Amino acid sequence: MKLFAVSVLSTIALAVPQFAQAQPGPAEAAAFPSRPIRIVVPYTPGGVTDVLMRLIGAKMSENFRQPVVVENRPGGNATIGTAVVAEAPAGGYTLVAVSAAHTVNQVLFKKLPYETMNSFAPISMVGSTPLVIAVSPASGIKDIYELTTAVRQRPGELTYGAGTTAIHLMTQMYLAGVGGRALYVPYKGSTAPQMDVMAGTLSMLLDTPTALVANIRAGKLRGLAVTALQRSSVLPDLPTVHETVLRGLDVKSWQGLLAPRGTSPAVVAKLAAEVMRILKLPDVMQRMSALGIEPVGSSPEEFDAAMRAEILHWQKAAKEAGVEPE
């Protein structure tokens, strides 16, 4: 079966011009923020969303002259931390950092502890990143061709781990596209599956360059391919899945910020404008490039439209990959 996976950014590129300008209402937002801001990251420390939000939070704190605290609340496929913010007071002082898993969860789960779109006020999409397919050097699998042969010829024997439902579905896109199978093992974050692949108890994983680059460069993991159409600037020697075993596969994840529903539009717009200001800072752009993260930046309205469109695309992708909601 030939699978043309939907690129997250192909949809967003149409709906989200880079660094579109959000216009806050000056009178309504002038006093914001008057106290510390909390950004809840529903993942374990060290992953791409956590690293990016700590970078954004530090710059936001400098400009707003208020502490911006990043709090990790992993678990429940990112729903536990997200639910905390859905129930928080609407004022802009408690935010949640979401990734593509936020829209994927809408497709993969029959019931969530919040409404994916209606429980939140979108602020801005912050960045995007491709994924890297990796195995243990001790596995004997030397390239993406050999992995593809293995998942075809040994269906259900190999295992893969994912710290988010988005990466789970993206892995299924690759597997379904090449006509292979592997068993899914869920994790709370990106560190544990890496450890298990290196230990030989897990066959493979997909994750962001941010999460994998150190262990790949150290020779503890073997990177095989990148899931975007273009090669990663962080790991330029790795081919893409598109140019090797599955023409048309173009999958990227993303990171963004949401506030609780009912937060003042003027405050939301001020936060969005602040995110876009930060993304244009040379040192931030340099740091993101080193991590393999592409700055995006969007208005709240554009982010909302992009997420709604993406839910429709994930529904189609899940059906093509044979993934049923739980």
Q: Side by side, which strands form the sheet with 159-162?
A: 183-186, 159-162, 204-207, 132-135, 222-226
What pLDDT is attached to residue 77? 87
Which of 180, 158, 131, 147 minimizes the C-alpha distance to 8?
A: 131
Q: In the structure, what pLDDT confidence band is assigned to residue 319 with cuts at 50, 70 and 90?
A: confident
- Rounded distance, CA 94 to CA 230, Å? 36
Residue 290 above 70 pLDDT?
Answer: yes
Class of domain 130-226 as given by CATH: alpha beta
**Residue 93 C-alpha from the chain's centroid:** 23
What pLDDT is attached to residue 13? 46
> Between 189 and 118, where is the model more confident?
118
Considering the domain 10-129+253-321, what is its CATH architecture? 3-Layer(aba) Sandwich (3.40)
Average pLDDT over residues 138-163: 95
What pLDDT is attached to residue 198? 97
What pLDDT is attached to residue 28? 59
Task: Tell me the residue type at 127.
Answer: G
Helix axes 191-199, 209-217, angle to 10 degrees: 30
Task: Tell me the residue type at 106.
Answer: Q
What pLDDT is attached to residue 27? 60
Q: Where in the chain is the domain with CATH 3.40.190.150?
A: 10-129+253-321
**Cβ–Cβ contacts within 10 Å for residue 116, how many?**
21
What pLDDT is attached to residue 25? 53
Residue 3 above 60 pLDDT?
Answer: no
Q: Where in the chain is the domain with CATH 3.40.190.10?
A: 130-226
What pLDDT is attached to residue 11? 46
Residue 296 above 60 pLDDT?
Answer: yes
Residue 6 above 60 pLDDT?
Answer: no
- Rounded distance, CA 223 to CA 143, Å? 8
- Rounded distance, CA 217 to CA 262, Å? 45
- Tens digit of pLDDT for each residue in 195-240? 999 999 999 999 989 889 999 999 999 999 999 999 998 999 999 9
